[in-house]
Amino acid sequence: MRKAGWIVLGAVAGLATGCAGSPPAKQRPAGDSKPQPSQPVKRDLPEGMHKLGEGVTTEEGTWRLTPSVLTMVTPSSRAKGLPRGWRAAKMTWTLTSEVQQLLDVSSTVRYGAMGRPAAVFTDSGIEGIPDAISDDPPRVKPGGAYALTVGVAVPADAAGEPVTITTRPSTLFGDTGDVDFFEGPFPGAAARKDSLLHPRPAPDTRKALAFGQWKADPQMTVDHVRQDGTAGGRATFSGELTVRNAAAVADLPYTPMKKSLRVYYGDELKEAELIPSGTGSADTGFIAPQRAATHTFHFSLPKGAKAESVTVEVTDLGNAEATFEGKIAD
């Protein structure tokens, strides 16, 4: 199309010069035409990410995975994994194959600019992702398709926010290495245009960063540290670690959220106890480009111990990456 456009413009120029009494301009042979510079393609998502409803091939092209857009659903009393008061939606994942045994697909689902974990639930007609790594896995005829329905829920005020889904298929022989990112708005409100996170990193110093400040490289912050109850006579607390993938393209190496935490209190920096339910370690889900992931951690102080502020150290495979400190919120 670009070549034809060049010829038409050249003909118009020749007619114009002919009217002025000058010989028509000599046209360049079609085979010698220079390619016109391509216009940059405007993308709603970073390169390598896909809108919900688009399909991707995986596992060396033997499978095609297509997650549909999210649609609102009214859960029944039999729903499992659905937090009270959250909005519920469902989506269909279609797997088309050239092999028989169903591909096992693990997923991480996050919502909003901070990438907080969404809830994945099951209900009548929403079976979720089956266990394909078993003695009797689901099977598909060669060239056939397998559809599974996944339930996704977010807090009531998160309608319209983006839902980012990371998938990583695996087989009996382990992970395939294919990591794909999908994104689309949660139904119930207009998609939000200000849903992207644009942190302003603090200056690079050796001092501890305050809660809410961002470290530049890797981009991360700790915030919302507050007391949330008691257990066994001990005060319990929670906080949020947010990590952002600053890459512009979804390309290897992906940015996994493999962070561990240590929490200290008091002038002597005594170590608090991480609560197992919070694991103290961020999940290992991969983070999409230009997106963030938030992990909620939990810890407790010994009986009788009090602290107005705490220090949180973030490590990656044992190497300290950042230290944050601040007061415990009421």
Contact of 118 with 110, CB cutoff 8 Å? yes
What is the model's pLDDT at position 164?
96
Mean pLDDT of 156-171: 90
Mean pLDDT of 295-309: 92
Whole-angstrom distance, CA of residue 43 vs CA of residue 45: 5
What is the model's pLDDT at position 13?
29
Statement: residue 245 has pLDDT above 70: yes
**pLDDT > 90 fraction of the chain, expressed in percent and rounded:** 53
pTM of the model: 0.81
Mean pLDDT of 192-212: 86
What is the model's pLDDT at position 130?
83
Mean pLDDT of 279-306: 86
Statement: residue 58 has pLDDT above 50: yes
Residue 98: pLDDT band (50, 70, 90) is confident
Whole-angstrom distance, CA of residue 305 vs CA of residue 265: 9
Mean pLDDT of 283-312: 91
Of the ranges 16-25, 53-62, 119-128, 291-300, which one carries the lowest mean pLDDT score? 16-25
What is the model's pLDDT at position 311?
97
Handedness of CA 254, 104, 316, 45 (dihedral sign): positive
Mean pLDDT of 227-256: 89
Statement: residue 144 has pLDDT above 90: no
Mean pLDDT of the chain: 82
Statement: residue 287 has pLDDT above 90: yes
